Structure 1
Amino acid sequence: MILLRVLILFLVLLLLPDWYIYRSYIRRLKNNKMRRLYWLPSVVLLAGLLVFIAAGEALHGCLGIYLVVALCLSVPKAVFALLSLFLKGAGRLFRIQIPHGWISSFAAFATFAYVLFGAVEGKEFFQVKEVEFVSPDLPEAFDGYRILQLSDIHSGSWKGNGEAIRRAVEICNQQKADVIVFTGDLVNSRASELPEFMPLLSDLKADDGVFSIVGNHDYGTYVHWNSDAEREANFQKLIAEEKQMGWDVLLNEHRILRRGNDSIALVGVENSGNPPFPDYADLPRALKGTEGLFKVLLSHDPTHWRRSVLPETDIQLMLSGHTHDMQVSVFGFSASQFVYPEHRGMYLEEGRGLYVNVGLGFVLFPFRLGSWPEITVITLRR
């Protein structure tokens, strides 16, 4: 299904600009061989996509590289075509001569360089986001308490690149947070993705420890299993691996964090998503025993906030991930906002907050642009 959607996207992003560029510029060339060669990259890309569709899961390991190459070719062409059309129209409207070909070419090359940066460096362009959450409900002893949030590591996507994870862990430890929380999607699908990175992730340190929850990918939903028992065994293995790293996995439960005579509750639920994403959260169970406490909820999917957390609880702050901000944001705009009303950053409603971390890792596309990999430090204030 995903590949069919990509095929449709190609028809719009690749072939339509190609058709326009060929009619407006390429067919003027006198060299017939050059005119025919113009179509070669697009033909190869489309043929490659058909191979991926036919091969199914067998070639998924190469799909990310293929998609990045396709983006590097198709997006600059789309920018060229749109800008060229606009400049031609402006020239005719104002009856002036505009060098539309040169200007559009410059914009296309700049776009190519930016997209290439996203593929080569963007996925490792780790950014520390410092935010504050203010609540009069916060106990005095926790004023200034620092929570470091990580989300969506997708360890299978980092295979063979432990150095990047090591640098991210080093940046995290430099923040001297009081507690570290991870809000789900540690793997793409299989627990076997994690052992390569366990020694590195075990080095995450905070005075009050490292706590984690699970996300939709952690259930192994996106690969074929021979039985439900095999899928469940994979899930339990992942939980065991997290515990081996020293992480405290919260599965519809909570922990009490203390400072002197004051305390707050750190609550963690399993994934609670809208279909087709799984919903295994049991929020009442997780909250039992936290009455009257300031609460920080870890819940992977931000849609949980409006569906259940705001209307049914008194939780002051929820931390989520999941959206990745679709890994692309241009001038602050991301298509993720059409899918998730709360897709990136802090959201406040009547003094209660939701923070959506756009993730440290990536899935499918080995690529980030604008929505850089994020390490969040949230300081609690009274």
Structure 2
Amino acid sequence: MASRLTLFLALFFVVDIYFYQAIITVTDLVSVHIAYWLIDILLISGLISILVAGRQLQRAQRWLTGLFTVLLSLAIPKLVVTPLLLIEDITRLFRGFPGRSFYVSELVLFLAVLVLLVVIFGLTRGKHFYRVHNTTLYFEDLPSSFDGFTITQISDIHVGSFTNEKQVQKGIDLANAQQSDLLLFTGDLVNHAASEMDPWISAFAQLHAPYGKYSVLGNHDYGDYIQWESQTAKIANLERLKVVHQEMGFHLLLNQATLIEKDRESIALVGVENWGKKGFQQYGDLRKATASLPTGIFKILMSHDPSHWDEVSVDQEQHVHLTLAGHTHGMQFGIELFGFKWSPIQYFYKRWAGLYQSDGKYLYVNRGFGYHGLKGRIGMWPEITVLRLKRSK
């Protein structure tokens, strides 16, 4: 965490210094120059102070998240428009390096303001700007009774971040409005503690589907990221969270499989505990979860972290037809326009949002229903996935 923050702050300073060139080109007011750097100094000093004081404290984490969100909000517009200043410098190099163009700097500042407005929308409205993503998948060996069968997937609720009951209800209603046959939740119900769900159980219990609701655990659900008074308290928290899934009407699959039956035919729904790379716990056991299943049965796997697909399930001896994951949130920041998709998370995760395929096996990574860390979503809106299974001829 500390190394990543250091890298981010170093990049922030480089971009900040470059962007400052546009500021001093447009205005020579000393008060503006001082205010520009004073804001940075206060934000970064606050971040460092909180980290030194104790990141494990819940109050410290809230302050850390808030300050980081403000810092990121200021950094994004600068980062987006800095390439324009770089292009100008390249042309200046071939023109004897004259002074900066007032009009180019003015354009840079104008565009930065526009980007800032998008960021503000993301932080205020974007966190509940729910989008439905529809995908149809074709399989030769899908049982004929399941031709046209629909699945609604949600992931990464992170209920501890929610503050607006009315806006969250919009997302719940939108999920129900899809009228899918099956509803699946792929982990990270809470940020840290099961108690975060207490005010929200009745709301999420409204989710319904005729063939049932099933869920798995995500990395945040184990309570690994806060300090507990004892190991016993941590274990009790996880046990309480498992009960919460029941109270919401979800069947929690813990390295288990169950059969979904329709017109005397069946498909297997498999759920593994969290399995991740790069320091994340590896509780998932796909071999155990599929051990009792008949060979050749059509399988849908719920596995919170998409890295599990590349590292384990795609090479599993029992063919897993479709894997559903979440975890990445699309970093809650990115660009998706006209088929183009980009987010910084793609430099950390090979599969990070949407549909992927390999050797007839599919992975769908949901962008997340909620938010965590960054108090909003910018360009990478909260997602409700609807998958329609079709039997190919």
Quote the residue 2:260 is aligned against: 257
Q: CA, structure 1 residues 162+85, in 2 after alignment: closer, same or farther (shift >3 Å)?
A: same
Partner of 1:149: helix, strand, or coil? strand
Q: Deviations over 1:74-108 (max 9, x none)?
A: 22234444322322433564799952111111111
Equivalence map 1:99-118=2 (5 Å)? 99-118=103-122
1: CA distance, partners of 2:380 / 2:242:
29
Point out the more displaced range, 174-183 or 321-330. Answer: 321-330
Quote the residue 1:153 is aligned against: 157
Partner of 1:39: helix, strand, or coil? helix
| Contact kept in structure 2, 1:7 and 1:49, CA below 8 Å | no
| Contact kept in structure 2, 1:271 and 1:280, CA below 8 Å | yes
Q: Deviations over 1:153-197 (max 9, x none)?
A: 011111x32222211110011000101000001011110111111
Does structure 1 residue 328 correspond to structure 2 residue 333? yes
1: CA distance, partners of 2:264 / 2:181:
17
Does structure 1 residue 367 correspond to structure 2 residue 376? yes
Quote the residue 1:170 is aligned against: 173
| Contact kept in structure 1, 2:22 and 2:108, CA below 8 Å | no
Point out the more displaced range, 92-101 or 226-235. Answer: 92-101
CA-CA distance at 1:67 after TM superposition? 2.0
Partner of 1:172: helix, strand, or coil? helix
Say which of 315, 320, 334 aligns to 1:315.
320
Point out the more displaced range, 321-330 or 183-192. Answer: 321-330
CA-CA distance at 1:141 after TM superposition? 0.6
Q: CA, structure 1 residues 22+349, in 2 after alignment: closer, same or farther (shift >3 Å)?
A: closer
CA-CA distance at 1:31 after TM superposition? 4.6
Q: CA, structure 1 residues 327+31, in 2 after alignment: closer, same or farther (shift >3 Å)?
A: closer
Quote the residue 1:62 is aligned against: 63
Quote the residue 2:355 is aligned against: 346
Does structure 1 residue 10 correspond to structure 2 residue 6? no
1: CA distance, partners of 2:314 / 2:31:
64
Quote the residue 2:146 is aligned against: 142
Quote the residue 2:43 is aligned against: 45
Quote the residue 2:297 is aligned against: 293
Q: CA, structure 1 residues 141+12, in 2 after alignment: closer, same or farther (shift >3 Å)?
A: same
| Contact kept in structure 2, 1:143 and 1:380, CA below 8 Å | yes
| Contact kept in structure 2, 1:337 and 1:343, CA below 8 Å | yes
Instruction: Tell me the TM-score normalized by structure 2.
Output: 0.90
Letter of the 1:294 counterpart = F
Unaligned runs of 5+ in 1: none
1: CA distance, partners of 2:16 / 2:350:
34
Q: CA, structure 1 residues 32+91, in 2 after alignment: closer, same or farther (shift >3 Å)?
A: closer
Quote the residue 2:216 is aligned against: 213
Q: CA, structure 1 residues 232+86, in 2 after alignment: closer, same or farther (shift >3 Å)?
A: same
CA-CA distance at 1:295 after TM superposition? 0.8
Partner of 1:196: helix, strand, or coil? coil
Point out the more displaced range, 279-288 or 247-256. Answer: 279-288
Q: Deviations over 1:62-82 (max 9, x none)?
A: 333222221222222344443
| Contact kept in structure 1, 2:22 and 2:106, CA below 8 Å | no
Instruction: Tell me the TM-score normalized by structure 1.
Output: 0.93
Aligned length: 379
Point out the more displaced range, 50-59 or 341-350. Answer: 50-59
2: CA distance, partners of 1:110 / 1:33:
23
Letter of the 1:351 counterpart = G
| Contact kept in structure 1, 2:258 and 2:270, CA below 8 Å | yes
Equivalence map 1:232-251=2 (5 Å)? 232-251=235-254
Quote the residue 2:34 is aligned against: 36
1: CA distance, partners of 2:251 / 2:378:
32
Q: CA, structure 1 residues 22+167, in 2 after alignment: closer, same or farther (shift >3 Å)?
A: closer
Q: Deviations over 1:31-69 (max 9, x none)?
A: 544443332211211221122213322321233322222
CA-CA distance at 1:22 after TM superposition? 4.3
| Contact kept in structure 2, 1:327 and 1:368, CA below 8 Å | yes
Q: Deviations over 1:268-313 (max 9, x none)?
A: 1111112411111122221133213211011111111122212122
Letter of the 1:43 counterpart = I
2: CA distance, partners of 1:157 / 1:54:
24
Q: CA, structure 1 residues 101+238, in 2 after alignment: closer, same or farther (shift >3 Å)?
A: same
CA-CA distance at 1:339 after TM superposition? 1.6
2: CA distance, partners of 1:356 / 1:181:
13
Q: CA, structure 1 residues 51+27, in 2 after alignment: closer, same or farther (shift >3 Å)?
A: farther
Letter of the 2:326 counterpart = G
